[in-house]
Amino acid sequence: MELFVNKNYPLVDTRRNAYIFSGILILISLLLFFFRGLNYGVDFVGGTSIEVKFNSKVELEKVRSIVSSKYSSDRIQDFGNGNEVLIHVLEQNNEVAPTVLKLMNDNFPGNSVELRSVSQVGPKIGDELKVSAIWASIWGLLFIVVYLAIRFHWKWGMAAVAALFHDVIITIGLFCALQLEFSLGAVAALLTIIGYSVNDTIVVFDRIRENTRLIKRGTTFGEVINKSINETLSRTVMTSTLTLLSVIVLLMIGGEVIRTFAWALLTGIVVGTYSSIYVASPILIEWNAGEDIKVK
C-alpha cells in the first residue's frame, strides 16, 4: 500500500531548515534540563510512594496541605477520575503509609479511602539506579554504532547515533517542560524509543545501500538518499501512525502508572520518525560531500 503517489519529494533539499528546527528544539530542551530539571520519581530520589483511592473526587490542594503538615512531600498528584491520588514523601519507614492513610480518613470523614499500593526506595539505591540507567543507555548506543559499522559503515553508525541523541534530548526536554515523573519506566521508554528510531533509520539505510549502484550511472549521492527516503516514506508514515494510535490509547486509558511511559513513546515516535527522514540520512551527505561510499 502506497500513501504517497509522488515519490520525488525534495526532502533532502530542505535539510538546512530541518537542521535549524532541530537545533532550536535541542537548545530549548537543554535549557529546560539545566534550568527546570527533571522531576525524578521515587526510583531515583528515594522516599515512599503511596497510591490511595477515595470514594469520590477530592481537592488536591487540601490533600497536599494535610500531607505537608506531617511529612516533607515531594510530589502529590491526582489521576483517574480525580479520586485517585499518588503521594510521594521523602521519608521512608514502615509507619509512613499507615500514617498517611489515617490522615486521609481523619480529614475526609465522609469519603472512604483505600490504600492501593506502597513502594519505598532508599537514596543510595536511587543513586545506583541513576548510574545503572546511564550505563544502560551508553552501552545501548555503543552496540548500535558497532552493529551499524559492521552492517554498513562506521559513518552510518555515527549518523544514526546522532539522530538518537536528537530524539532522546528532545524527549527529555518534554519531561522537563511538563514535569512528568522521570522514573525507571521513563528510562525503559527512552530505550524503547532508541530501538524504534534506529529500526526506522536502518530501513532507510538499507534502501540507500541498494540504490548506491545508481551513482555509477551519474546520480549524485544526495539524489540517491532523497530517492531512498521517498521510497520508504509510505512505510515509515504507516508504521508510525499505527504505533501512535496504540500509544494514544495507552495515554487515554492506561492510568497514571503507564502515563509517563506513553508520553515518552508518543514524543519519541514523532521525533524519531522526523529524525530518520531529516537527520540521520542527510548527515551522510554532509560527511561524504558527494564522494562515493564504499558500503560494507
- Residue 235 sits in a domain whose CATH number is 1.20.1640.10
Q: Is the pLDDT of residue 275 over 60?
A: yes
What is 73-105 written as a DSSP string? Answer: EEEEEEETTTTEEEEEES--STTHHHHHHHHHH
Q: Is residue 244 part of a domain?
A: yes
Identify whether residues 202 and 282 lie together within a single domain.
yes
pTM for this predicted structure: 0.78
Q: Is residue 255 part of a domain?
A: yes
Stretch 195-219: mean pLDDT: 82
Give the structural domain span for 88. 47-121
Q: What is the mean pLDDT of the chain?
A: 82
Q: Is 171 exposed, middle or buried (0-12, 13-18, 19+ CB in 10 A)?
A: buried
pLDDT digits (tens, 9 = 90+) for 250-273: 888 766 667 788 888 899 899 999
Amino acid at residue number 154 = W
Residue with cell 524509543: 193
Identify whether residues 212 and 146 lie together within a single domain.
yes
Q: What's the pLDDT at 56?
A: 83
Stretch 70-74: mean pLDDT: 69
Q: How far is residue 281's CA from residue 287's CA, in Å, rounded to a whole number?
A: 10
Q: What's the pLDDT at 22?
A: 94
